[in-house]
Each structure stands twice: as C-alpha cells, then as structure tokens.
Amino acid sequence: MALALGGGGVRGYAHLGVLAVLEEAGVPIRGLAGSSAGALAAAAWAFGHKDPWKVHEAIFDQEVAELSRAGSLRTLARLFTALRRPHLAEAEKVGQGLKRLFGEARLEESPLPLAIQAADLLTGEKVVLRRGPVWQAVLASMAIPGLFPPVPWEGRLLVDGDVVEKVPVRAAKALFPKVVAVDVSNPPPKEPPRTALEAALLAGEASRRRLKALALKEADVVLALDPPFPIDTFDHEKLPLVYELGQKRARERLKEVQALARVRLRDLFPRR
C-alpha cells in the first residue's frame, strides 16, 4: 500500500506518529505521497529522518516563530493587508533548514517511491514531483500563497500542494493502487467571518475541503487526525500533542491498515 499524507502545518507531524506505529507493527509501505506539511513528513521518513523533534528543529527558524506568535492564519491575513506585501515571510531560512536536513538528496534516490505534490500558481494545475532536489521540492509544496513566495521549478511557479488537493490520494495511487490517506485537517470553523478578507479566505478553505472530500473517496482507508480542538497551523507548541494523536489514530485503525497491506499487486491484476 501507499500513504497519502495531507497538509496541515504543525499538524503534519502527526504523519510521523502514524508512520512510527506502522513501522513498529511491521506494515510494509510501498510508497509515500505528500502535500505541504505532508510533503515534509513523507520526504523526512523516506530519507530516514523519523524523529519529529529533530525535523522540527532543522527547519524551524526565528521568522516562522514570530509568525507562530502572531496567531492564526486570520490574524496573519490582517497583518498581510496592513503591510501590502506579496508575501509575509522569506523562504530563504526555511530553504536552508531543508538543505541541512536533506543535503543533496534527490527524489529519484529515495529508498521508498516518493511523490511530492505542489500546485502551479499561474495555471492551477497539480504538479507531482518525482525527480529533482528533495529540499526544493518540499519547499515548493510548503509555499503557502501569500505567506511564502512561489518556488521556480522548470519554468513554473510552484506553491503549496494543498491548493489543488489537500490529501494527495491520486499521487499516492500512481505509486501503488491501494492507498491509506492521512487527513490532518482541522474541523470547519464555526465562527462567521469578521472582514471581507476573512470571508474570502473561508471561501477558499471551503473549496479545498470539497476537493479533499472528493479525493478521500478514492482512498481505501482514511485516517483522520480529528483533534480535540482546532490547532493553528503555526502552533508549534502542539507538536507533542499531534504526534501522539497520530500514533493513537494509527493504532485505532491498525487492523484495517494491516489487511490492506496484505493485498499484493498480483491479486489486483490477476493474469487472464
């Protein structure tokens, strides 16, 4: 089976908790596809970086820490309006952290089949990266529009993969036909928007939820983080909580995942 790891900021560290439980149970993984925070988790696991605290330490910098203290994405949106900048943060420090983590490794060198999903900012197309520098592919997949600048890649401008499919089920299916999707989304907001910009952001989130729901229908098993309360994208103090939640959700559905993992390619495509 392959895993499709969705985006969700700090909630993405739950993916490493899920993978740790599957590894402990001896569940074979035939491929990893990731979008945004899921791209970081997929690449980190594939290249042997399995400790969430070490991964976090490698890429977390002061500028992102300041954004974390600023609060939710809605708060950042008001700051963005006031500053009138094309993006709030520079990606250089995050890129340097990713370079330290992955070095010169390339996607095609991954010990596990690995797919990193991004989006073309100008065309809206989904872009699945299978070749090229790991650090740059992850940076592109994590480039939240308005927060980080788009990443140039072979004539395209790439941004956060969540723009086109929050949980990259189809990219995972291209690696192996049977897929476990891990959705680390927050529940939908209950409060109405307070400004026109917040209304626009909520509309975008609603659209992404709809696209995500369509993608999840194609997964064989869906693990939902289902946090006990909304966890802001940049609330890095919640890292231990989300990691433990990932482990808990994986254990709750372990028998289903194990059954799926026993399916072989020859069972899916029998000879006629």
User: Which residues are part of the catalytic machinery?
Assistant: 36, 160
How many angstroms separate the first and last alpha carbons of the chain?
23
- CA atoms of 94 and 104, how far apart (whole Å): 16
* Residues composing the chain: 272
Sign for the pseudo-dihedral over CA of 156, 158, 164, 167: positive
How far CA 82 is from CA of 166, 171, 201, 203, in Å, comes to 28, 38, 16, 21
Strand 31-35 versus strand 2-5 pairing type: parallel
For residue 24, report the phi and psi dihedrals to the nearest 5 degrees: -60, -35
